[in-house]
Structure 1
């Protein structure tokens, strides 16, 4: 055994070295998926904004909320036992479609008590539209991919944004009570930034979340526009809505203490971690053989169906075969629709949405984003992890609503 061990160690080291060299030389494709993930360094993540929040809101507490707002705000209220009272500004950048009705109600209560809500997204959940009496429309960018962003206050600096297929803008709002703060422009100006009073507080709505992403903050001087947008927010504690949600904690714990996934994304850290695990495993194997014989354990027969499914799914996930997983999730969802509601799924159009809403008892507004996203995925040939996460979120929302 002592003679074999050095050869095994040499082989392991050679394998690890070759793997590191290959991973370093491999050119990764740029992922332009709009995740608005505060942990992501990709072009359309918001890690730069997230890291700069303490500088933008100096001497103020920045809390990252990993819960649904309904869970977090209700726990940290006068009626519950959270560690602190939630007061200040609640910020959401993109992905506001995850908000459920009870979370929107809790956010509106939070605002009515004299606090602030800031949302930058292309569209908002229907309940927000109904509550604040706003309408949003879309204009396509037919000439090029550039849009121009400006403020009502001309002392503030305007900017432009590229890689933009079109603009979402406010086509309807209460012009008496609402205050226009900014515009977007393709052929002509549209309102894209407003302030809406609600109770004793205010809601700030913005329709171009891409301006807050890493790509735009590092491009030219577009960061100045972001600073000017955030200058409208009050000088108060900030609650940043995280891209990643965790289960509700009734004791008010909202800060994540570690994130191993970030280390695994870094080549050096990843292979250092793998090396440590391999050598630890080898030590345990050879050390255990010297101390005692392996005791044979006879396990009772068990149902391995669930384990088999987990093994297969993990195999797809580990090989980054997102397309296969997405295809299977779509196929399973449509098969369940056919069996549960007896609806033909050959054509996923407006008629299909109407039938599914009628037979499932769910709102058409809750079903449309899922069907629209499935149709969009069917036009793509390349997929990323964010596509799989977003599809899973839509499907879970369909069953939970």
Structure 2
């Protein structure tokens, strides 16, 4: 046993020495991808901005939107099925190219009702540009540095510059009543990059340098004061932070490709601690494989296989994230129970069906209406999220509890 202990000690020393050697020679590569992800600490993530926004808009609700504007704003409108009516400021930092026609129209409707839309990106969807009569152009930066300045007095000390910027984008055309240029590039005010656009009862703020809001620039010198100056134009109101593309990329990309252990394995100290623990465990098994006494059989009580089966099926659905399958099954089982308990035809879920079900079940008409309308709405969708499943389950529980 003494000899085996010496061998284990030698192996441990060798592994630790190897870990230090590899870590010392390891080249750390910085990821400069412009993700604008609010959960990313990489240079061009927006985690710093995301953490500071509640302080800048203190006393108001901040919500992170993981759905497209067409779905989220419609659901949280006066005629929708959301948990509130959306009002305040809607922020989109980078990656705005995912916006489709329905998203643009819903954002314009949201703004026309007296709310505020803020978009910072190099370019904007064609529908936005056509509707607002705006054109965007660009020029190459000297030494890859973009100089950002405000147009009005009182903000001179908040001017900033963005390095690693090959091009600067500006509004080459913005013909509209009461359009106001709030900022520009370099010393030439004709290269406007920050625009205020009145739109019916609300305002649209368009900004063409999203890198100003990233971790790298916010933590560099006093560059954060520029972002404070930009956001000072927004009203002190509720805030909606767009995270649809960032959530989509991380949820359907990284989560499927990497395990929960991947982050630890990317850190040299944690990685070698993990490897050392595995090696020591393997050595312990090898040198202690021979048992010192006869095995004592353990008689296990009979397991409740029903509970195990339910857990297995639940874990299967949880791992696959097949929200559509679960939503379809919940709707099928609910309608089957309606047919069984109240002897009703569920092929057509219209107003007459809602009234009849409310009378037969003794439930409130509004409760039944919300549930059936939400089921009809779900049947029109092709893509589902966890939030849809939670809301469907809540409506069904409300039906049985009231």
Q: TM-score per shorter chain, which class?
A: 0.5 to 0.7
Cα distance in 2 for partners of 1:144, 1:82 equals: 49
Is structure 2 residue 154 aligned with structure 1 residue 152? Answer: no
Cα displacement (A) at 1:117: 0.7
Residue 227 of structure 1 aligns with which residue? 228
Q: Secondary structure at the match of 2:178?
A: coil
Question: Does structure 2 retain, via aligned residues, the 8 Å contact 1:24–1:267?
Answer: no
Cα distance in 1 for partners of 2:8, 2:277 equals: 15
Instruction: Summarize deviations over 1:56-109 as a string: whole Å, max 9, x none.
Output: 111222211111111211121222221222111110111111112111111111
Q: 1:16 to 1:59 in 2, by over 3 A?
A: farther
Q: Secondary structure at the match of 1:245?
A: helix
Q: 1:172 to 1:188 in 2, by over 3 A?
A: closer
Q: 1:16 to 1:200 in 2, by over 3 A?
A: farther
Cα distance in 2 for partners of 1:72, 1:282 equals: 55
Q: Given the two structures, how large is their TM-score scaled by the length of structure 2?
A: 0.59
Alignment of 1:351-362 (within 5 A): none
Residue 68 of structure 1 aligns with which residue? 68
Question: Does structure 2 retain, via aligned residues, the 8 Å contact 1:263–1:270?
Answer: yes
Residue 200 of structure 2 aligns with which residue? 199
Question: Does structure 1 retain, via aligned residues, the 8 Å contact 2:36–2:246?
Answer: no
Alignment of 1:2-401 (within 5 A): 22=22, 26-141=26-141, 143-157=142-156, 158-185=159-186, 189-242=190-243, 243-246=245-248
Instruction: Summarize deviations over 1:250-306 as a string: whole Å, max 9, x none.
Output: xxxxxxxxx8876665556667788899999999xxxxxx999xxxxxxxxxxxxxx
Question: Does structure 2 retain, via aligned residues, the 8 Å contact 1:35–1:45?
Answer: yes
Cα distance in 1 for partners of 2:68, 2:221 equals: 35
Cα distance in 2 for partners of 1:108, 1:152 equals: 26
Cα distance in 2 for partners of 1:61, 1:277 equals: 46
Cα distance in 1 for partners of 2:17, 2:102 equals: 52
Cα displacement (A) at 1:176: 2.7
Q: 1:135 to 1:260 in 2, by over 3 A?
A: farther
Number of equivalenced pairs: 282
Cα distance in 2 for partners of 1:64, 1:191 equals: 29
State the structure with more CA Rg.
Answer: 2
**Cα root mean square deviation, aligned:** 3.9
Cα displacement (A) at 1:126: 0.7
Cα distance in 2 for partners of 1:86, 1:25 equals: 53
Runs of 4+ in 1 over 4 A off after TM superposition: 7-21, 186-189, 259-283
Cα distance in 2 for partners of 1:260, 1:115 equals: 43
Cα distance in 1 for partners of 2:137, 2:31 equals: 27
Cα distance in 2 for partners of 1:108, 1:27 equals: 48
More helix by share: 2
Cα displacement (A) at 1:212: 0.9
Gaps of 5+ in 1: 248-258, 284-289, 293-401
Cα displacement (A) at 1:177: 2.4
Of structures 1 and 2, the one with the larger relative CO (CA 8 A, separation 6+) is 1
Q: Secondary structure at the match of 1:161?
A: strand
Question: Does structure 2 retain, via aligned residues, the 8 Å contact 1:66–1:241?
Answer: yes
